[in-house]
Structure 1
Amino acid sequence: MAKRISLREYQEGVVARLKSAAATAQVNTRLGIRIGQDNWLVDLADVAEVMPVPPVSPLPLSQPWFKGVANMRGNLVSVSDLSAFFGGAALIASPLARLVLLHPKHILHSAVLVERMLGLKHLSDLSVDDTSHPRASTVYRDAAGQRWLALDVAALASDPGFLQAGQ
């Protein structure tokens, strides 16, 4: 005979299993983005929002990689071109470009401009590569041999060069 369980206990069990599954999925899943010529991975916990690029107002006397500020639902957000900040070519505007708003736990009202989104990538599908990159915390390779660089948002947000957008 099957054990009787109350509806409340059943629902609590389902909620607990869903939370556990979501936590595991977030630990192993990264957001794939294209910055310049490289594929990057960003931890989902470091991203507050991804959106199409709104109008950006340039600011005088700022670094070339600092694109300006954008109004996002009444808040002014600083917009930085990561490709140019990393020493590459400046991003050319396209319909595929996106603004990645960084999580406020790292830096308030800051977004980075990326060339395009590449979808979600599971770390279990990637292998760690023994090469290094000056801006990446880890370098990975996928089954097709493509290189993926892990972006450390906390290190970026505390980089004195990134914080000093003025000339």
Structure 2
Amino acid sequence: MDAGLSAYHYLCDLDRRCQSRNVGLPQHVSGEGGWRGLGYRLGAHQLLSSYDDIVEILTLPETTPVPGGHAWLLGLANIRGNLLPVIDLKLFLEGERTVLREDQRMLIVRQPGGDVAVLIDALFGQRIFDDQHAADPAQVGDGRYGHFIQRAFHADGETWGVFDLSRLVRTPEFRQAAA
């Protein structure tokens, strides 16, 4: 820092330079019927969810078990001072426990009364589809998935189901994690 500049003026100058290099946020998908979301895998299902439902994506932190909780409630995690329930989504939907790995990812999902974390098997990142890629949701909406998948897309030999996380967190069974 130049000795002639006060700390305040230095910060103002730094802010001005940062603002001049701001590239902005990504633009929304243009065109009618365009859909954009986060792609991930849960078991054998290729899924997508709306960015509106996802607060952030994190690696799995240490969890503290909750006595009397369902098996799919892995426990509570301290995320920057907030305690969040961590749900094994595959166990909830399929009855099969997720194999935990060191690089495991979880989606932080908005829900009334506080956010919740759900485990996923693999993260693929942003996916964009047009109406021409629409597919029959029944192709991926088998079993309990069918309640949460009302839309699907097909591209590059893969069928992706749009998994409605907001519907999931409103489901009475999901909201009652105590056994």
Give yes or no for contact 2:137–2:149 (8 Å, CA) kept in 1: no
Give yes or no for contact 2:110–2:166 (8 Å, CA) kept in 1: no
Shift of 1:127: 1.7
Partner of 1:47: 54
Shift of 1:39: 1.0
The structure with the largest alpha-carbon Rg is: 2
**What SS does the aligned partner of 2:101 have?**
coil
Question: Which consecutive aligned stretches of 4+ in structure 1 deviate over 2 angstroms post-superposition?
Answer: 21-25
Tell me the distance in 2 between the aligned counterparts of 1:91 and 1:59: 18
Query: TM-score, structure 1 length as denominator?
Result: 0.78
Partner of 1:23: 28
Tell me the distance in 2 between the aligned counterparts of 1:126 and 1:156: 27
Query: TM-score, structure 2 length as denominator?
Result: 0.74
Tell me the distance in 2 between the aligned counterparts of 1:150 and 1:93: 24
From 107, 114, 126, the counterpart of 1:108: 114
Tell me the distance in 2 between the aligned counterparts of 1:123 and 1:131: 14
* 1:154 is aligned to 2:154: no
RMSD over aligned Cα atoms = 2.3
Structure 2, unpaired ranges of 5+: 1-21
Tell me the distance in 1 between the aligned counterparts of 2:67 and 2:163: 28
* 1:35 is aligned to 2:47: no
Give the 5 Å matches for 1:58-77.
58-77=65-84
Tell me the distance in 1 between the aligned counterparts of 2:169 and 2:113: 6
Give yes or no for contact 1:36–1:88 (8 Å, CA) kept in 2: no
Shift of 1:119: 1.4
**What SS does the aligned partner of 1:92 have?**
coil
Partner of 1:10: none
Give yes or no for contact 2:39–2:127 (8 Å, CA) kept in 1: yes
Give yes or no for contact 1:138–1:150 (8 Å, CA) kept in 2: yes
Tell me the distance in 1 between the aligned counterparts of 2:124 and 2:131: 15
The verdict on how the C-alpha distance between 1:126 and 1:83 changes in structure 2, with shifts beyond 3 A counting, is: farther
From 151, 160, 164, the counterpart of 1:138: 151
Tell me the distance in 1 between the aligned counterparts of 2:175 and 2:104: 23
The verdict on how the C-alpha distance between 1:108 and 1:126 changes in structure 2, with shifts beyond 3 A counting, is: farther
Structure 1, unpaired ranges of 5+: 1-14
Give yes or no for contact 1:52–1:99 (8 Å, CA) kept in 2: yes
The percent identity for this pair of structures is: 25
Shift of 1:102: 0.7
Shift of 1:88: 4.0
Give yes or no for contact 1:107–1:157 (8 Å, CA) kept in 2: no
